[in-house]
Each structure stands twice: as structure tokens, then as C-alpha cells.
Amino acid sequence: MKIYSRNKFVLLAIMIIHFVTPKMVNAQWTGPKDKPRERKELKYGPITPKNRKDNDMNAFRNYGLGQFIHWGVYAIPGNEWQGVSARKGAPASEWIRSWEGPTTPKNWLNIYDNLYKQFNPKDFAPSKWAKQAKDMGAKYMIFTTKHHDGFALWPTKYSTYNISKSPYKKDIVKEVVEAYTAEGIDVFLYFSVLEWNNPNYIDKAIETSEEKKKFKMFLEYTRNQLLELLENYPQIKGFWFDGTWDDSWINSYEFTYNLEKELREKHPGLIIGSRFRNDEFGERHFDSNGDLLGDYEQGWERKLPAKYEWLNGNDWDAVMTIPPNGWGYMKDWSGIYTKTTNDLLDMLMRSVSMDGNLVLNFGPDGNGNMHPEEDKIAKQIGEWMKVNNEAVYGVRHVELPEPKLGYYTQKDSILYLTVFNRPVNNIARISIPNKLTKVPVEAVILGQNQLLKISHSDIGIDLDENNYFDIQIPTEFQSSNPFVIKMKLGKSNYKSQKLMDAKM
Ligand code: JFZ
């Protein structure tokens, strides 16, 4: 009996694996990606080529560090409000409208949908935000024009649920776009397609003709808003789409394909990530042939690739919160792990060492002030960036044996090693494959002007494929932060001593 039930269990497990696995393989946007074995003929595949070569995309590739800002009426509740609290395992703070619990007020949705009447951020100074981002070292920023709650921070002509109806009245998107552009920071607009409170939005496959009519209106509304954003803010560099996972949208692949084309025609150079649309087989981010749908991978959210190979050479960025989750304002950060400045610098260097950008999220409060902890982190990152930014901007992945001390980045013949793990003997040992002719010939620590001693060492590994160059970190150099060893690569001038092999 026992054996029988165990067998049943095994059979059930096999069935689950069998039926679940094939679907999961294709829904895998992060982690290692399987390439489909045979190519499918696609009508609604990628519109732009892989690794666009134009100036806008080159600029994207060189950003290194970005800033995300989640701001909207959810900033007023700040993660806990009138008996509603996200602190006990509920979703993120900007999702507060969707919370349900025993202490949630009965008319909660109604309360939330009227919060905009209190949205009057008296301390909002976009130039202050932009200055802070600039000082932090951000080269681009992504701003929430409209999140899932549907509230538009610009005075859209296509819905009345927008900023012009709040006591604040003014066009926040315009203020943000102008302030950041003035600081030389490129702006991307976050746009949630799905809207929780729009009667024409349907979150499942369309069935009835009534639903069809409604959703058609919703699609037209979305198109109008996007064209309006491009019309109003022609300075923007791209869109960061979200809320595109429902079957209604997935089944609208012909509409979304045409819309992507239209947006690109209206705004040459526009950058759109892989979270906008899917192919005719419902494949999102990557189409049925495993090709990227959009200009860059947009699935790296709160997690970074562990392996460079997983990226298949695609452009990408990663968006990151300081708390574990929660993009909108969270008034109370106590009792949760919040990433430290050094955690974030590690993530930044991991990202750029793999040809990606790191985008750090900020969630200002209902008055327009950044969280004090975010202020502090922005400042600390900025101080670090002032000294070390050349290891971050415009750098590329390095094809050398992975360093144990930190991350490599490279710009032409300059090699950077950002050291997170300082070795006890103060020797940064650089492994250079024997077949390479360029080796470190000069080294300094960024922010210091002393040339570091380099020596060639032979550490006696059988059939060794590498040569080793030892960079001496001065013992008197102290740093409680990661630091960067900048090396010039050049023709080697060391002589490999051919020692006599032992007779055995
Ligand atoms: C979405 C939003 O729901 C969230 O509020 C926030 O704006 C974030 C930046 O984007 O959240 C997602 C969307 C997609 C995934 C995870 C969270 N995903 O693909 O894993």
C-alpha cells in the first residue's frame, strides 16, 4: 500500500514535470535561456535589429548608472495607511490599492481612488531631484508617468484621472523631463498599460462582443496616450513599459506590433525594452525563436545575471530597489534588509562588467521628498562615482579569467579592476591567458597618483594557460570602500624564464 502510494506520488511528480517544464522554458526571461531547436516563421517578431548601432542605442550602452523614480498617489499612504499595511508579506507599496486584509477599510478602493484630491506635493522641486541624480552619477532616469492605478502625472486629454484634477494641478511629467534634461540626464518614461480602475480594461482573454468593444476602446486610449507623451515630451529617449502580461494584451499582438512601429516612426531613435509586446504565439520578452522583442532585455528586475553567457550578447539593464521590494515610497524601513551602498556598488560593477546598466529606484514621499536613507545612499554612491566613474561609463565586458577580487571593466587598452575583496597579501594577481600579447604594464589606484609596482610571477601550475601579473597594493593605502585599480595594457616586456623540467 505504502509502495503503491509512493509510486503514485512519483508518477504525479513526473507528470507535473512533464507538463510544466516545456512551458516554463519559454517563459524564462532571466537565467540561462534555451534556444528553440527549429526556427518559426514569424509575422510579429522583432522590429529593430539586435544590438542597434545608432547613437541613441550607443548612448544607452554607455550609461552605466541610472535612476528610477516611482511616484504617484501611492506615495501618500507610503506603504501603510488606515489599517492597510504591506509590512506583513503583502505586495509592494505602489500596489497598496490592491491590498486586501481583515483590517482594510470596506470602501478602500474608493478611498484610494480619491487620494489624488490630496496630492499636493509642497516640497516637490524637480531640479533638486535632477541635481541629486547628477551628483550620484546617473546618466539616465526612468519616471512613472502612470502606474497600475491609472493616475496620470501629466494632464492627458484622454482621461480625467490625471494631475490637472489634483490640487497640485501642474504637469509633473513636464517638470521632471525638463529638469533632468537640463542636467544632461536622458529621460525614459515608465508607462503601465494595465489600469486597475479603467472600466474598459479587461485583464483576461476577450470573450464577448461587449468585451471586444470595450477593449478596442482601451487599446485606442493607450495608443492616444503614448502618442500624446511623444508629442508633449519630444526630448525623451524611450519608454519603459509595464503591465503587459494579461491575456487581453497578449492576444492583441497585431495591434501592439503596429503601435510599436508607429511610435518608432514618430520618434526615430526611440528605445523600447522587451516588456512591451509579444509575438503571435504569446511569447513575451523573447519571441518563439528566442530573439529579443525590443531593443534591450527588460526582465532583470531586482536580480542580476549570474553569468555573462545568459545574456546572449543582448543589451540590458537591471532595475533595483533598495528594500527587498517596494518601488513607491515606504515610510518605514525598519525590520527589513535594505541594501547598503557597498551592496549597490557591487551590483553596479557586476552589471557594467556584463555590459548592462544598473538603475537604482527611488520612491519620493507625498510631499516630493526623497526618503532620507535614499538621500544618504545617493550621496555615498556619488562620492564613490566622483573618483571611480571612469570604470563605469562606456566600459565593456572583459574576456579574461574571472577575477576573484572584484569586477573587471575595460575601455580600449585600459583595464579596470574594481576591488571588493582586498587580498591579505596586498597583491592583486591578474591572470592573462598565455596566448594574449597585451598585459598590464602600468597600474594606479583611481584617486591616488602613485604608480604601483607590477611583477610577473610564476606560480607553478601544471600546463598553466595563464601568465600572472602581480600588482602591489601599497600597504599604507587604506579604504573602507571598494577601489579601482586602473591598468594600462601593452606589449609585454617580461621574459618568461624557461626552467629546466625535473627528471622523474
Ligand atoms: C512591475 C510593477 O508591478 C511594480 O509595481 C514596479 O513598477 C516594477 C518596476 O514593475 O513589477 C514587476 C513586473 C514584472 C516582473 C516583476 C515585477 N517580472 O517580470 O518578473
Beta bridge partners of 80: 85
CA-CA distance, 23 to 281, in Å (whole number)? 12
pLDDT at 321: 97
Same-domain pairing of 374 and 471: no
Q: What is the CA 304 to chain-centroid distance, rounded?
A: 9
pLDDT at 461: 84
Same-domain pairing of 231 and 132: yes
> What's the domain count of the chain?
2
Instruction: Work out the average pLDDT over 452-458.
Output: 93
pLDDT at 89: 60
Cell of 11: 508518477
H helices of 78-125, where?
Answer: 108-113
Instruction: Work out the average pLDDT over 319-342.
Output: 94
Q: Which residue's CA is the nearest one to ligand 1's atom 5?
A: 94
The yes-or-no verdict on residue 8 having pLDDT over 70 is: no
Instruction: Work out the average pLDDT over 249-258.
Output: 98
Which atom number of ligand 1 is nearest to the Cα of residue 94? 5
> Is residue 369, in this structure, part of any structural domain at all?
yes
Residue 479's domain comprises 406-491
> Phi and psi dihedrals of 203, rounded to 5?
-100, 10
Residue at a domain's end among 391, 415, 441: 391
CA-CA distance, 127 to 496, in Å (whole number)? 58
CATH of the domain at 302: 3.20.20.80
**pLDDT tens per residue across span 58-70:** 999 999 999 999 9
Same-domain pairing of 244 and 98: yes
Q: Which residue's CA is the nearest one to ligand 1's atom 16?
A: 301
The yes-or-no verdict on residue 7 having pLDDT over 90 is: no
The yes-or-no verdict on residue 162 having pLDDT over 70 is: yes
Give me the percent of the chain exceeding a pLDDT of 70. 92
Instruction: Work out the average pLDDT over 460-464.
Output: 85
Higher pLDDT, 387 or 497: 387
Same-domain pairing of 387 and 426: no
> Phi and psi dihedrals of 490, rounded to 5?
-155, 180
**pLDDT tens per residue across span 414-439:** 999 999 999 999 999 999 999 999 99
The yes-or-no verdict on residue 24 having pLDDT over 60 is: no
pLDDT at 451: 98
Q: Strands (DSSP E) along 122-277, which ranges?
A: 140-146, 186-192, 238-242, 271-272
Cell of 435: 596566448
For the chain, give the number of residues: 504
**pLDDT tens per residue across span 86-113:** 776 666 899 999 988 888 899 999 999 9
pLDDT at 273: 97
Q: With contact defined as beta carbons under 8 Å apart, do 293 and 273 qualify?
A: no
pLDDT classification of 458: cutoffs 50, 70, 90: confident
Q: Which residue's CA is the nearest one to ligand 1's atom 17?
A: 301
The yes-or-no verdict on residue 17 having pLDDT over 60 is: no
Cell of 172: 509633473
In the sheet that holds 271-272, the strands lie side by side as: 271-272, 238-242, 186-192, 140-146, 65-69, 356-362, 316-320, 297-301
The yes-or-no verdict on residue 371 having pLDDT over 60 is: yes
Same-domain pairing of 149 and 251: yes
User: Hey, CA dihedral for 404, 409, 410, 414, is it positive or negative?
Assistant: negative
- Alpha-carbon distances of 191 from 158, 173, 183, 472, rounded to whole Å: 15, 12, 23, 50
Same-domain pairing of 159 and 242: yes
Give the Cβ contact number of residue 358 at 10 Å: 25
CA-CA distance, 192 to 58, in Å (whole number)? 26
Query: Beta 414-419 vs 483-491: how paired, if at all?
Result: antiparallel
Q: Which residues line ligand 1 (CB under 6 A)?
A: 92, 94-95, 242, 299, 301, 319, 327
> Is residue 67, in this structure, part of any structural domain at all?
yes
CATH of the domain at 419: 2.60.40.1180
Same-domain pairing of 380 and 435: no
Question: Grid coordinates 510631499 are at which residue?
Answer: 367
Question: Grid coordinates 548601432 are at which residue?
Answer: 53
pLDDT at 501: 66
Higher pLDDT, 495 or 182: 182
Considering all CA atoms of the chain, what is the largest pairwise distance in Å, rounded to the nearest integer? 89
* Mutate which of 242, 276, 286, 293 for ligand 1 pocket (most atoms within 8 A of beta carbon): 242
Same-domain pairing of 249 and 280: yes
> Is residue 70, in this structure, part of any structural domain at all?
yes
> Is residue 400, in this structure, part of any structural domain at all?
no
DSSP state of 503: P
**pLDDT tens per residue across span 110-146:** 999 999 999 999 999 999 999 999 999 999 999 999 9
Q: Which residue's CA is the nearest one to ligand 1's atom 7?
A: 327
pLDDT at 31: 85
Same-domain pairing of 348 and 478: no
For residue 242, the CA-to-ligand 1 centroid distance in Å is: 7
Mean pLDDT, rounded, of the chain: 92
> Is residue 4, in this structure, part of any structural domain at all?
no
User: Cα angle vertex 414, ends 416, 53, to 5°?
Assistant: 100
> Which of 368, 372, 385 lies closest to 153, judged by CA?
368
Q: Which residue's CA is the nearest one to ligand 1's atom 13?
A: 242
H helix or E strand, kind and range, residue 431: strand 427-433
CA-CA distance, 4 to 14, in Å (whole number)? 15
pLDDT classification of 278: cutoffs 50, 70, 90: very high
Residue at a domain's end among 327, 358, 391: 391
The yes-or-no verdict on residue 152 having pLDDT over 90 is: yes
Residue at a domain's end among 391, 426, 461: 391
Same-domain pairing of 432 and 364: no
The yes-or-no verdict on residue 25 having pLDDT over 60 is: no
For residue 260, the CA-to-ligand 1 centroid distance in Å is: 21
pTM > 0.95:
no
Give me the percent of the chain exceeding a pLDDT of 90. 83
Q: Which residue's CA is the nearest one to ligand 1's atom 10?
A: 242
Cell of 388: 571611480
pLDDT at 28: 67
Same-domain pairing of 75 and 188: yes
pLDDT at 90: 60
For residue 300, the CA-to-ligand 1 centroid distance in Å is: 10
C-alpha radius of gyration, the chain, whole number: 26
For residue 2, the CA-to-ligand 1 centroid distance in Å is: 44
H helices of 27-116, where?
Answer: 55-62, 108-113
Q: With contact defined as beta carbons under 8 Å apart, do 382 and 137 qualify?
A: yes
pLDDT at 498: 58
For residue 193, the CA-to-ligand 1 centroid distance in Å is: 12
* Mutate which of 149, 327, 359, 361 for ligand 1 pocket (most atoms within 8 A of beta carbon): 327
DSSP string, 75-142: GTTTTEETTEESSSS---GGGGGG---TTS-TTHHHHHHTGGGG---TT--HHHHHHHHHHHT-SEEE
Q: Which residues contact 413 (CB under 8 A, 6 or more apart)?
A: 438, 488, 489, 490
Cell of 498: 624557461
Written as one letter, the residue type at 401 is: P
- Alpha-carbon distances of 7 from 13, 19, 20, 36, 457, rounded to whole Å: 10, 18, 20, 33, 59
